[in-house]
A and B are shown apart, each in its own frame.
Chain A
């Protein structure tokens, strides 16, 4: 019996814009069902790394695989939540419809949505607590409710890899708990999660932590990375952890 291939692999990866690296020397592997937390200050390269994993920008150098293939080549298997999803408000589209757009990667141009597609959307709506405002226009919702809606959209994709950029931003404590339960459930069914966050508490359950500060400060198990020295090097203080 052979071991399952890692869900995310980065080998001496450099990420950035226009061929210029923001961060380089990033190497880690995340197994199916595993979690990597990207932690660092503003502008440290967390979002740039996630966009590279999502295939939105090309890697500057090094190797990277997501769900066993080059980034961006398997959209149905990889879900991505941007730091602040840019939703147009010209059409007051309902929250439930925003969630259902998460299935478009699997449906493509031609496939009709089946009862299974609809069931996954309904399940995501329930899991992220979107049900009470599912029929309301997105533009009428609070920032936290919009974030729950977009998290439900990411869950509705039923991806093998979830790339989440500051997923708990704007969520209240109840929302954070709901999100943590959803991530635990996704990991239990084999989904790998890569998550950028400012909250050191989010890293507790991670397999790998990547601590960034415009460079790689440390990569490894949370207990090895979240030390006072590393946090001081990254943030300038040790934080509450």
Chain B
């Protein structure tokens, strides 16, 4: 048992560092991912994760730190989306989609310039969990502290933005400021994590543990804690799978995390079928995400009907 579960991390410094890095990614993504799941920011998070590609590629080309390139790519993406959304009648989804595709295309164009980029592109997209060095661990630890600090300080406006956006505005919180801050910590989590798990797989770590936690918790703090513990356990399990089956480390971690979500979802469904209740979303309930515009809170409604017979956001 010791040889199978513990020894790999004791005997192998790469695996040990990978475990530390993965756990830091898990904690960072648990905090940020909870907001991404509750606020319905999955698309913008996905777009941000891909939008950093040209920045990273340019940084590699120029020989400057890739974190700097990723940060510039994120700022360009967020700024561009904000300008298009505010200065045109296009929805934020459209603006995000345009920049998502555009930034990804530019990133691929840059990386296609030289064959030597092929390996780097793979590393950018899928990370190199087993190649994390001590300095990257420090950066990740700083990111966890930063993200945790912002999330704790802004916990009330962030919770309102996730649960009742209009109440955030009438409670005196500057909605646009806190929306921006929320996106900033999403970007920080992505930038801090992409070197470990890559820009594609970081999205899985943002969503999978937080989504699993949302199925079994009723409070934001509990959701973050469960997501962090789950993410850490998935990192450990994924690395073990990777070690014993000789598979890619980052992909193994994310695959385990998504697998845990599916297993939890199935378990909750079975429990609800047996007990006739539960805290899952009932059939027919609409999934809503809301964000604010200049004229106040505006609610997007996704789904067919409200469980109690009315459509939120509809004027009577």
A residues adjacent to B (C-beta < 8 A): 17-18, 42-43, 47, 51, 54-57, 72, 75-76, 78-80, 82-94, 97-98, 101, 104-105, 107-109, 137, 139-140, 142-143, 146, 153, 166, 169-170
Given known A-B contacts A85-B164, A109-B157, A90 and B287 have beta carbons under 8 A apart? yes
Q: Which of A54, A56, A93, A108 contacts B163 (CB 8 A)?
A: A93
Residue of A nearest to B309 (CB): A143
Residue of A nearest to B300 (CB): A86
Residue of B nearest to A84 (CB): B312
Task: Give the residue among A57, A76, A86, A140 with the most B Cβ atoms within 10 A.
Answer: A86
Nearest chain B CB to A30 CB, angstrom units? 18
Are B156 and A109 interface neighbours, CB within 8 A?
yes
Q: Does B308 contact A (CB under 8 A)?
A: yes
Number of B positions contacting A (CB below 8 A): 50
User: For the complex, what is the distance from the CA of A109 to the CA of B150, rounded to whole Å?
Assistant: 11
Q: Does B259 contact A (CB under 8 A)?
A: no
**How many A-B pairs fall under 8 Å by CB?**
133
Beta-carbon contacts of B175-198 to A below 8 Å, as 1s and 0s?
000000000000000000000000
Are B37 and A90 interface neighbours, CB within 8 A?
yes
Interface segment, B97-105, B116-124, B215-223? B215-223
Q: Does B84 contact A (CB under 8 A)?
A: no
Are A51 and B218 interface neighbours, CB within 8 A?
no
User: For the complex, what is the distance from the CA of A79 to the CA of B40, rounded to whole Å?
Assistant: 27
Beta-carbon contacts of B304-316 to A below 8 Å, as 1s and 0s?
0001111011111
Given known A-B contacts A90-B214, A109-B153, A56 and B288 have beta carbons under 8 A apart? no
B residues adjacent to A (C-beta < 8 A): 37-40, 153-154, 156-157, 159-160, 162-167, 169-173, 214, 217-220, 223, 279-282, 285-290, 295-297, 299, 307-310, 312-316
Q: Which of B173, B280, B285, B296 contacts A56 (CB 8 A)?
A: B296
Are A91 and B217 interface neighbours, CB within 8 A?
yes
Q: Which of A75, A88, A89 contacts B170 (CB 8 A)?
A: A75
Are A91 and B223 interface neighbours, CB within 8 A?
yes
Are A75 and B295 interface neighbours, CB within 8 A?
no
Nearest chain A CB to B75 CB, angstrom units? 25
Given known A-B contacts A76-B172, A109-B156, A137 and B279 have beta carbons under 8 A apart? yes
Pick the 8 closest A-B CB pairs, nearest first.
Answer: A75-B172, A143-B308, A56-B296, A105-B171, A92-B279, A86-B299, A80-B170, A104-B156
| Chain B contacts for A169, CB-based, 8 A | 316
Residue of B nearest to A55 (CB): B170
| Chain B contacts for A51, CB-based, 8 A | 296
Q: Which of A86, A139, A170 contacts B164 (CB 8 A)?
A: A86
Q: Which of B220, B295, B308 contacts A17 (CB 8 A)?
A: B295
Are A88 and B289 interface neighbours, CB within 8 A?
yes
Nearest chain B CB to A205 CB, angstrom units? 24
Residue of A nearest to B215 (CB): A92
